[in-house]
Amino acid sequence: MSRKYYQEEYETMPRDKIRELQSKRLVEQFKYVYDNVEYYRNRCKEAGVTPDDIKSIDDLDKIPFTCKDDLRATYPYGLFAVPRKEVVRIHASSGTTGKQIVVGYTKGDLDIWDDCAARQLVAVGADEDDIVQDAYGYGLFTGGFGIHGGATKLGCQVIPISSGNTQRQITFMQDLKSTVLCCTPSYAAYLGETLKDMGLTPKDIYLKAGIFGAEPWTEEMRRDIEKSLGLKAYDIYGLTEVLGPGVAFECSEQAGMHVNEDHFIIETIDPKTGKRLPDGEKGELVFTALTKKAFPLMRFRTKDIGVLNVEKCKCGRTFVRMSKPMGRTDDMLIIRGVNVFPSQIEEVLLKQGYAPNYQIIVGRENNTDTFEVKVEMTPEKFSDVIAEVKAQETKLENALLTILQIKAKVILVAPKTIERSEGKAKRVIDTRKLHG
């Protein structure tokens, strides 16, 4: 009989006690960040806020926001709060201009991350007897290592297979008898199809649960994946800036993700005014890290839109639940789990001598994202020799791959054939209906 919670004391703490704990930790953490991060201290000084002003969680609104721009402005180490030798791990994610943002962890931070990820694993019914196939990408992306740490701490057997090599994934599922699969939902869907293509059925493998996150997915997709792989599929939310996977996790109820509130405060705000919204109203999600030491963000604006639910959950956990992200306040696309900004594509086109007349077309076929970039040839580059056009397309595809880390199909079209807009250019056509 597997256990119900990983850290019951916290996961089922009465709400007034959670608030008390958050309040105490917020006061300490604000002072810690103020004292140790010069950039943020200056921001607070501009706003006229000092640690004396933050006496409890009721003063949260007084604390200035941190935005993605702040992370880029301080690249690489400007928001770190500990000496570099205490930072034992770095992760990174792409920013709006293609520039990386870099985050870091102390040993203690990694320990907290492991706990957060372990809570997710326990919530899907995993324990020491389980074999976790970690098919999130390993590397600077937080997915692979995040789950890896939690599963190791819990005592599962981890298969650090990373993403890709799809047939081998299936072979390992059969031979090593993996019981829990962790990867992006689109990769899970692809694995489901591959299983079928290999002439196998869910009866030939041993999976019972899947932890799928890092990109938006629908309930419909959940049902498809559950059927094709013969498991129960759970959502997990995270972002590099705040921690990585494990900021919030779904439980057996599959109805919203519990935010690890002993480590993070979540708020929803009106993205236009920055004003805090009552629970239950849709708004931009904002996180404050209460316990992280190396990279401790105060009121980080995620640009994800969501809703909070404080109702008690049937699973017994008292942590607030956040909805699946319902969209973004910026134009970031998540394609096959990778963050892509139209501005990155535009930059590549301009560098390669094209005019910014292009269209990004994203769709979903057989549960896998399709990604095409239609680009007008300039009169100088124009050619009607197929081989020449093909060569230009390949060159552009390679340039895009280097920047985006994901393959796009480039289609070159004749000059002046992409429709011009009279208002805002419609650069992105996304037919995936991810938030339906």
**120 vs 179 by CB, closer to Zn ion:** 120
- Choose the contact partner of 339 out of ligand ADP, Zn ion, none; CB within 5 to 8 A by kind: ligand ADP
Distance, in Å, from the CA atom of 288 to the CA atom of 32, rounded to the nearest integer, reads 13
**317 vs 324 by CB, closer to Zn ion:** 317
**183 vs 349 by CB, closer to ligand ADP:** 183
- Choose the contact partner of 302 out of ligand ADP, Zn ion, none; CB within 5 to 8 A by kind: ligand ADP
15: its two tokens: 């709400």
Measure Cα distances from 390 to 93, 394, 405, 422 in Å.
31, 6, 21, 31
378: its two tokens: 């300039």
* Residue pair 65/286 in contact by the 8 Å Cβ criterion: yes
Distance, in Å, from the CA atom of 207 to the CA atom of 197, rounded to the nearest integer, reads 18
Q: Where in 322-361 is the site for ligand ADP (CB under 6 A)?
A: 324-325, 334, 339
The piece of 149-157, 229-237, 373-381, 424-432 that touches ligand ADP (CB under 6 A) is 229-237
How many residues contact ligand ADP, by CB under 6 A? 22
Binding letters toward ligand ADP, positions 102-141, x by CB under 6 A: ---------------------------------------x
- Coil/strand/helix, residue 235: strand
**CA angle, corner 298, sides to 184 and 123, nearest 5?**
40
**CA angle, corner 283, sides to 281 and 289, nearest 5?**
110
**234 vs 371 by CB, closer to Zn ion:** 234
Distance, in Å, from the CA atom of 185 to the CA atom of 368, rounded to the nearest integer, reads 9
Q: From the CB of 102, what's the least distance to ligand ADP, in Å?
A: 12
Q: Where in 292-321 is the site for ligand ADP (CB under 6 A)?
A: 302, 304
- Coil/strand/helix, residue 132: strand
* Residue pair 366/191 in contact by the 8 Å Cβ criterion: no
Give the helix/strand (H/E) hosting 114: helix 107-123
* Residue pair 104/93 in contact by the 8 Å Cβ criterion: no
- Choose the contact partner of 315 out of Zn ion, ligand ADP, none; CB within 5 to 8 A by kind: Zn ion
Indicate which single residue of 144, 245, 246, 256 sits in contact with ligand ADP (rule: CB under 6 A).
Answer: 245
The piece of 16-24, 41-49, 240-248, 292-300 that touches ligand ADP (CB under 6 A) is 240-248
Interacting residue ranges for Zn ion, rule: CB under 5 A: 251, 253, 313, 315, 317
DSSP 92: E
Indicate which single residue of 142, 179, 344, 359 sits in contact with ligand ADP (rule: CB under 6 A).
Answer: 142
Binding residues vs ligand ADP (CB under 6 A): 93, 141-143, 213-216, 235-240, 244-245, 302, 304, 324-325, 334, 339
